[in-house]
A and B are shown apart, each in its own frame.
Chain A
Amino acid sequence: MRNNYLKKYLLFFALLFISQAIFAQTRSITGKVVDENNQSLPGATVLISGTNTASAADVNGIYRITGLRAGTYTLTASFIGYTSQPKTVTIEADNATVNFNLQPSSKSLSEIVVIGYGTVKKKDLTGSVTTVSSKDFQTGNITSPEQLIAGKVAGVSITSNGGAPGAGSTIRVRGGASLNASNDPLIVIDGVQLSNDGIAGAPSALSLINPNDIETFSVLKDASATAIYGSRASNGVIIITTKKGTVGKAQVNFNTQVSISKLSKEVPVLTGDQLRAYVKANGSAAFQALLGDANTDWQKEIYQTAISNDNNLSVAGGFKNLPYRVSVGYLDQKGILRTGYLNRASASINVTPKFLDNHIKLDINVKGSASKARFANQGAIGAAVSFDPTKPVQSGNDKYGGFYEYLDSDPSSATGLKQLAPRNPIGLLEQRYDKSDVKRSIGNAQLDYKFHFLPDLHANVNFGYDASEGKGTIVIPSTAAASFNRFKDASNVLHGGVNNQYRTTILNTTFEAYLNYAKDLKSIDSRIDVVAGYAYYDYATKNYGFPDITSDGTTVSTPTFPFDKPENTLLSYYGRLNYTYANKYLLTGTIRRDGSSRFSPLNRYAVFPSGAFAWKIKEESFLRDNKVLSDLKLRVGYGLTGQQDGLSNYAYTPYYSLSSQTASYQLGDTFYQLYRPVAYDPKRKWEQSATTNVGVDYGFLNGRISGSIDAYYKETKDLLGEVTVAAGSGFSNKFVTNVGNMVNKGIEFAITAQVVRSKDVNWDVAFNATYNTNKVTKLTFVDDPNATGSAVGGVSGGTGTTIQRNYVGQPRAAFYVYQQVYGADGKPIDNVYVDRNGDGTINDKDLYLYKQPDPKYIFGFSSNVTYKNFNLAVVMRANTGNYAYNNVFSSTGTRNSILNPLGYLNNGSANVLESGLIGANDKNVLSDYYVQNASFLKMDNASLGYNFGKVLRSSASLSISANVQNVFTITNYQGVDPEVGGGIDNNIYPRPRTFVFGLNLKF
């Protein structure tokens, strides 16, 4: 070996010498790479086969390879989504010109799809996997990565959790599989499996990842695709791959955006004049005396037009054959709710060096971000709906920071404030400084070693980490009404305000190692691809405790412990076999054995197998020559997956926990902090979902029309359900144990079409439709026909009021309500409900199940038209069959809320004028009057772009775009926004309408 290398070095120096010697005689190859429409393909790579010599096409599609000796070369031009094209050229005395005209790969069938622990060509997929790459992403002011694919994937619903800066989304793949554990899919970024737990001070975990760094999303939907991820796969898996470096000349990409966000719709409430009229008509003299003269539109006061900037710069290229990509980004986002903002600086580095004749490939990614945010007090949103519009913003005196507040009639009151009345919305916003400072880094180093003695065998090792620190402060001045004179010390002196801190650190580590053997067995016309591996994941969080302190530094309470460190670990062994026969019949089998620290040793390990079969019908002789049908594949898969997210870490074994100081008990003269036995369930184990999936992939006209149809049936058993424990038999009357069963079934349909292809005009459309229903099939250990399910869905109005039930035989979280009786005028009659069981009294036995919050149908539609240098794209989404409980109507739109029995006036939903409800009883809040059809059609995004092509003397290319997000919503829903996660609409942060102007420069 030593000898061998000596020779190589000698050869190297010899070549070097020769190349120097013949420098004057070197040749070059140059040319242009264009697509099927003769448009240049910047970034396309041209490689001299058998070497590392390559060049990337510049913005005009021009590549140049220099320093070549005379001879014959095979050049291969390649570009993602296009069929690679080899060309052979012989250069003698002159430089050569070789142009390439790449054709789109037949609906990207040769596209590489990232799956768990490996990749596969799209045409060889056996499971249900959808890939969305950067060219198909949603555009505009996207600050959280998952929004990039909203509406793009059949079976995946992405609902943003409101419009706050950086707000995350609720992602559901095929509706999710759980009731009480997590329904969030597993997200893997460059091999790092993320924890779904949030980070203190970050609006959402994904918000710390710069969407501009993302290359593709792979959504693994059925069990045969996800089962390799075993215990965390029941809710689907989303694999995010970031952009990588390329060989060749450095390419610089600069993107800048400015966006203007505005409130799209106010909650309709009474104006000052309307409230005056209402109170005069309905209120006692005492209430009428409370009216003021103002006409304040509180919603107008709390919202603003927010201007944000997002700038991103990336450089990708090869440094001495070391492909790299470096990017930096800076986001400055303002919220439409005044005072809120998010500033995020992010950077990422990717290098992919190769060693030992490409036997070793390294893929190193480091991403970092630092954000500073101020969270606007979202309590102001509800307060703006219910604060009396006849009152001014400012009181005219200095008390409470000058803000008008409801005062107590009792002059000796400690705070002077009316107890339980809402506080001035502007005061809530401006007198709360909730600032966070979050740093996060995600990185991995993946090594792939192709064995020297057996090149078909690869060893792949991946180390990953996800480290973050979130900390922040909450400061409220002592003058603020929200915490005015909130604490009385031992000397009877009152202290107000808040000066508190919080801090959490997280270190999640990943280690994965697998061996991969892939071999074409020509003798039997087969190919095998085997993976076997081991993985270790550790999720450790450290939450620090801080005292509760007033503005002047008085300690209100001290934490029981300086910190808590919840941690859980997973150990896994996994394997996969892909077998292909005659390039027509594909078999996949996977198996994974997972161990989790969250279960007792008895139930700690579980095995999750899957199997799938695919038949490439198109490859059969009877179809091979069919010109119309370009692809036809049948897929059938079955697999078991598991679920343990969302469970407490240690609840399988008995522990005692110490109470806080404020929950001590006095015996004699001593106050004791109490040891409470914690409820535990030693029998707790994995939730298991069994999914059957049948799918067809199709393509027509050489892929101009393509898509897939999938049908699935997912049965989850041993659902971790919150069950009521027989009283007296446990330390809690409810705990989470494996008790339920649930069935999810659905059909997904996706189609994309290149409607028009011509020299000047191209038009692509994509459409997907999903039908999904779920049904709870078991909820208790013993079937009880009289069981009324488990209550979920807490709503505002009364203490502990819930509006939904998980109920056997019904969809998850169905609404459980009284049936409202209506008068001849069509208006609801106050406190009159249908006596559904006919027993002459209206009580909870008359509650009934009415509708569900999950949509039955989800549609997504994208259209992209290119005319010469113009580009027009729209994305639309629709949900139908989903219902929402209008909690804004029910908690504010009644006389009893407006004329508050505690002796102050509230504003309320303008619905009160229409319904005339009084709402003084305890049943109004449970009326089906408030359950409303929330089906909708939304245009998420419309964008218009113009590509200037070459500018700056052909050294750069420039494009600009204008974009509107949240363009319109068509719905019959009576609240502000029908898109409500979980089905309860109660003053969410409104999603703004955003106008974005962007500029992209490449050179």
Chain B
Amino acid sequence: MKKNLTIKAFIVVMLTGSLVSCTKKLDLLPTNDITSATVYASAEGYKQAFAKVYGAFALTGNQGPAGNGDVQGIDEGTSDFLRLYWKAQELSTDEAVIAWGDVGIQDFHNMNWSAANPFLKGLYYRSLYQVTLANEFIRQSADDQLSSRGISGADADKIRQFRAEARFLRAFQYWVLLDMYGNVPLVTETDLIGVTVPKQADRKTIFAYVESELKAIEPALAAPKSNEYGRADKAASWALLARLYLNAEVYTGTKKYAEAIDYAGRVIGAGYSLINNYQYIMLADNQANTSENILTINYDGLRTQSYGGTTFLTHAPVGGSESASNFGISGGWGGARTTKNLPNLFPDYTGTADKRSQFYTTGQNLEIKDQSVFTDGFAVTKYRNVTRTGAAGQSLDFSDVDFPLFRLSEMYLIYAEATLRGGTGGVTATAVNYINLIRNRAYGNASGNVATISLDFILDERARELYWEGFRRTDLIRYGKFTTSTYLWPFKGGVTGGRSVEDFRNIYPIPTDDITANPTLVQNPGY
């Protein structure tokens, strides 16, 4: 009988007691991820979300060095901004070739890329990813959002400055997209996530947008050289405007050389000066180069790890008989070299006269017979993960070298070129003086100084000063030499001696993936 009761009690428990467990709802929350309300509840949270907008330049994802990428559909190690940008700007020109066989990588130098090229896709999505992050931050940091979250006073002022910088970063990426792809979807903070289908804007519209944004944010940005390291100030905004205006004729058909001179001049007048040794510009401790660098992407061997960025630039050019330890790394990746055109711009290959001539020649052939053979073509030793004293960076696998997005030399060169191209306000003597400031540093004395300058000289001087910093394709296009037969380099267009290619290749194609995803997009001509 007792047993009977026990059994009955057991049935009751089993049938009904368990219903308690059913009351648990289906609303489950992640353990570690947090909602936007929590992120943006404090000024510190704003800073961490803001830092992501910058961090999207340097990192490939949320897990260093890899494992949780931002951009999908491309190998994460190759999906950061600089590595992709560098490939698109340099591998397609006389300044660089690469030995590897990754699908699509040889398309750059062979100049036969298509809309499905994985690296062009990666760059496009990386740029627009940073735009999307910036848009989100701009939305979240609007004044009404701040007041609704009870953020006011100095905190609110700081966040307003963050907001202006987010708009700068967005403008920068739109400049990249404008330069590379021309006619791209224009999304701003008013386009809500997952709601609107981005609309394509033509190159002129994007140009006008970048220009207007940079001008609009100027008052809200910090004075030159007054912001935290790694953050944009007025000078960065001016420098981008100067670059934009220098290429305005390519982008819009309208010359804006006077404006280029104006904005380059504003940066030059803001108190910057060249550091004294050119060979220090791309070293592990180049964070010290604040007199020359206007805005940098910051890398750190321990805390900002990825397989792209300057880790790529310090590893990929090391191979053959080069000593990895000279580069502060545990071993090279045996990939990138240059064609003979670049070393031939210098008086010698060893940097004896012009210190900017940084090549490794031992066991390397000047002539390239086979792009896939590392020893064909001189290696470039500009990027090294060692300090000025030669000590290795913090990590042998990830670079400490910061990458200057803008540095003073470029402003001198823009001033000079825009002046030669007839921009009003430019003074030729000043231009020559600026060029000689660059050359004086390069030679260590006045022996390399010039008395006159020409446009062709400026192009060569840009190569000598700015090679492997991501300018070459844009420069060659501005000079009409990128696709044409007026200027050839080994394996240009995939043939040994080089050849011209179709002019439509002055703009990269919109990636097939986005054409599929966004049927309102129209492909660039020729692709």
Is A841 interfacial (CB 8 A cutoff)? Answer: yes
Is B187 interfacial (CB 8 A cutoff)? Answer: yes
* Whole-angstrom CA separation of A307 from B321 in the bound complex: 48
Closest chain A CB from B187 CB (angstroms):
4
Closest chain B CB from A731 CB (angstroms):
6
Task: From B331, B512, B515, give the contact of A408 (CB < 8 A).
Answer: B331
Closest to A725 in B: B517
* Whole-angstrom CA separation of A788 from B396 in the bound complex: 40
Is A681 interfacial (CB 8 A cutoff)? Answer: yes
Provide the residues of chain B in CB contact with A800, threshold 8 Å: 74-75, 78, 102-103, 118
Provide the residues of chain A in CB contact with B517, threshold 8 Å: 723-727, 780
* Whole-angstrom CA separation of A410 from B18 in the bound complex: 69
Query: A412–B197 contact, CB under 8 A?
Result: no
Is B48 interfacial (CB 8 A cutoff)? Answer: yes
Query: A420–B333 contact, CB under 8 A?
Result: yes
Query: B197–A726 contact, CB under 8 A?
Result: yes
Task: From B63, B64, B78, B305, give the contact of A799 (CB < 8 A).
Answer: B78
Query: A724–B73 contact, CB under 8 A?
Result: yes
Is B22 interfacial (CB 8 A cutoff)? Answer: yes
Task: From B1, B298, B334, give the contact of A903 (CB < 8 A).
Answer: B334
* Whole-angstrom CA separation of A960 from B398 in the bound complex: 61
Query: A662–B302 contact, CB under 8 A?
Result: yes
Is B300 interfacial (CB 8 A cutoff)? Answer: yes
Task: From A412, A418, A601, A799, give the contact of B77 (CB < 8 A).
Answer: A799
Query: A658–B117 contact, CB under 8 A?
Result: no
Query: B102–A663 contact, CB under 8 A?
Result: no
Q: Which of A136-144, A500-508, A564-572, A859-867 is near enough to bind chain B? A: A564-572
Query: A668–B49 contact, CB under 8 A?
Result: no
Query: B303–A664 contact, CB under 8 A?
Result: yes
Task: From A2, A447, A597, A666, give the contact of B28 (CB < 8 A).
Answer: A597
Provide the residues of chain A in CB contact with B55, threshold 8 Å: 659, 663-665, 672, 674
Provide the residues of chain B in CB contact with A782, threshold 8 Å: 516, 519
Mask for B332-347, Cβ within 8 A of A = 1, else 0?
Answer: 1110000000000000
Interface residues of A in 456-507 (CB under 8 A from B): 459, 461, 463, 485, 487-488, 490, 492
Task: From B74, B198, B320, B512, give the contact of A786 (CB < 8 A).
Answer: B512
Query: B51–A665 contact, CB under 8 A?
Result: yes
Closest chain B CB from A390 CB (angstroms):
22
Provide the residues of chain B in CB contact with A21, threshold 8 Å: none
Mask for A906-930, Cβ within 8 A of B = 1, else 0?
Answer: 0000000000000111111110000
* Whole-angstrom CA separation of A681 from B195 in the bound complex: 11
Query: B370–A920 contact, CB under 8 A?
Result: yes
Provide the residues of chain A in CB contact with B518, threshold 8 Å: 726-727, 729
Task: From A564, A675, A901, give the contact of B372 (CB < 8 A).
Answer: A901
Contact of A410 with B132 at beta-carbon distance under 8 Å, contacts A655-B35, A727-B198 already known: no
Closest to B74 in A: A800
Provide the residues of chain B in CB contact with A924, threshold 8 Å: 101
Interface residues of A in 726-756 (CB under 8 A from B): 726-735
Is B374 interfacial (CB 8 A cutoff)? Answer: yes
Task: From A463, A669, A672, A726, give the contact of B14 (CB < 8 A).
Answer: A463
* Whole-angstrom CA separation of A842 from B104 in the bound complex: 11
Is B128 interfacial (CB 8 A cutoff)? Answer: yes
Mask for B289-329, Cβ within 8 A of A = 1, else 0?
Answer: 00000000010101111100000000000011111110000
Query: B106–A921 contact, CB under 8 A?
Result: yes
Is A336 interfacial (CB 8 A cutoff)? Answer: no
* Whole-angstrom CA separation of A596 from B124 in the bound complex: 36
* Whole-angstrom CA separation of A420 from B195 in the bound complex: 45
Most chain B CB inside 10 Å of its own CB: which residue of A356, A410, A492:
A410
Interface residues of A in 693-732 (CB under 8 A from B): 722-732
Closest chain A CB from B494 CB (angstroms):
8
Query: A728–B128 contact, CB under 8 A?
Result: yes
Closest chain A CB from B53 CB (angstroms):
9
Provide the residues of chain A in CB contact with B99, threshold 8 Å: 901
Closest to B373 in A: A901
Mask for A815-841, Cβ within 8 A of B = 1, else 0?
Answer: 000000000000000000000000001
Provide the residues of chain A in CB contact with B34, threshold 8 Å: 655-656, 658, 675
Closest to A918 in B: B372
Is B447 interfacial (CB 8 A cutoff)? Answer: no
Mask for B15-36, Cβ within 8 A of A = 1, else 0?
Answer: 1001001101011111111111
Contact of A843 with B114 at beta-carbon distance under 8 Å, contacts A729-B187, A922-B106 already known: yes
Provide the residues of chain A in CB contact with B197, threshold 8 Å: 726, 729
Contact of A488 with B396 at beta-carbon distance under 8 Å, contacts A798-B101, A801-B103 already known: yes
Task: From A656, A663, A780, A797, give the contact of B35 (CB < 8 A).
Answer: A656
Contact of A673 with B48 at beta-carbon distance under 8 Å, contacts A418-B331, A732-B70 already known: yes
* Whole-angstrom CA separation of A194 from B516 in the bound complex: 38
Task: From B14, B33, B193, B373, give the contact of A657 (CB < 8 A).
Answer: B33
Is A946 interfacial (CB 8 A cutoff)? Answer: no
Is B191 interfacial (CB 8 A cutoff)? Answer: yes
Is B231 interfacial (CB 8 A cutoff)? Answer: yes
Query: B18–A799 contact, CB under 8 A?
Result: no
Provide the residues of chain B in CB contact with A485, threshold 8 Å: 330
Closest chain B CB from A908 CB (angstroms):
15
Is A856 interfacial (CB 8 A cutoff)? Answer: no
Task: From B26, B38, B321, B331, give the contact of A413 (CB < 8 A).
Answer: B331
Closest to B69 in A: A732
Is B427 interfacial (CB 8 A cutoff)? Answer: no
Query: A922–B102 contact, CB under 8 A?
Result: yes
Query: A571–B26 contact, CB under 8 A?
Result: yes
Provide the residues of chain B in CB contact with A663, threshold 8 Å: 55, 59, 61-65, 304-306
Query: B124–A665 contact, CB under 8 A?
Result: no
Mask for B98-142, Cβ within 8 A of A = 1, else 0?
Answer: 011111111100001110111000001100110111011000000
* Whole-angstrom CA separation of A921 from B72 in the bound complex: 25
* Whole-angstrom CA separation of A965 from B30 in the bound complex: 46
Provide the residues of chain B in CB contact with A734, threshold 8 Å: 72-73
Closest chain B CB from A884 CB (angstroms):
20
* Whole-angstrom CA separation of A567 from B32 in the bound complex: 12
Query: A662–B298 contact, CB under 8 A?
Result: no
Query: B1–A2 contact, CB under 8 A?
Result: yes
Contact of A799 with B49 at beta-carbon distance under 8 Å, contacts A649-B28, A676-B70 already known: no
Task: From A415, A461, A735, A780, give the contact of B330 (CB < 8 A).
Answer: A415
Task: From B1, B14, B59, give the contact of A659 (CB < 8 A).
Answer: B59
Task: From B107, B304, B333, give the contact of A665 (CB < 8 A).
Answer: B304
Q: Which of B149-157, B387-395, B430-438, B452-460 is near enough to bind chain A? A: B387-395
Task: From A360, A408, A511, A654, give the contact of B22 (CB < 8 A).
Answer: A511
Is B486 interfacial (CB 8 A cutoff)? Answer: no
Contact of A798 with B29 at beta-carbon distance under 8 Å, contacts A667-B231, A682-B194 already known: no
Provide the residues of chain A in CB contact with B196, threshold 8 Å: 729
Query: A845–B114 contact, CB under 8 A?
Result: yes
Closest chain A CB from B19 CB (angstroms):
8
Provide the residues of chain A in CB contact with B333, threshold 8 Å: 419-420, 902
Q: What are the nearest 8 A-B pairs in CB distance?
A: A419-B331, A662-B64, A800-B75, A668-B228, A665-B55, A728-B187, A726-B518, A663-B64
Besides A656-B33, A731-B132, A801-B103, 19 other CB < 8 A contacts? A413-B323, A536-B21, A538-B24, A566-B30, A656-B35, A659-B55, A662-B64, A666-B298, A669-B228, A674-B52, A676-B62, A677-B136, A724-B514, A730-B194, A734-B73, A788-B116, A800-B74, A843-B113, A920-B101
Binding site for B on A (CB under 8 A): 2, 5, 355-356, 360, 408-410, 412-415, 417-420, 445, 447, 449, 459, 461, 463, 485, 487-488, 490, 492, 509, 511, 513, 534, 536, 538, 560-561, 563-569, 571, 595-597, 601, 604, 649-650, 654-669, 671-678, 681-682, 722-735, 780, 782, 784, 786-788, 791, 797-801, 841-845, 896, 901-903, 919-926
20 A-B residue pairs with Cβ-Cβ distance under 8 Å, sorted by A, are A356-B7, A408-B324, A485-B330, A650-B33, A656-B38, A656-B49, A657-B33, A662-B302, A662-B305, A663-B62, A667-B230, A671-B300, A674-B62, A676-B70, A727-B518, A732-B70, A800-B75, A843-B114, A844-B114, A901-B373
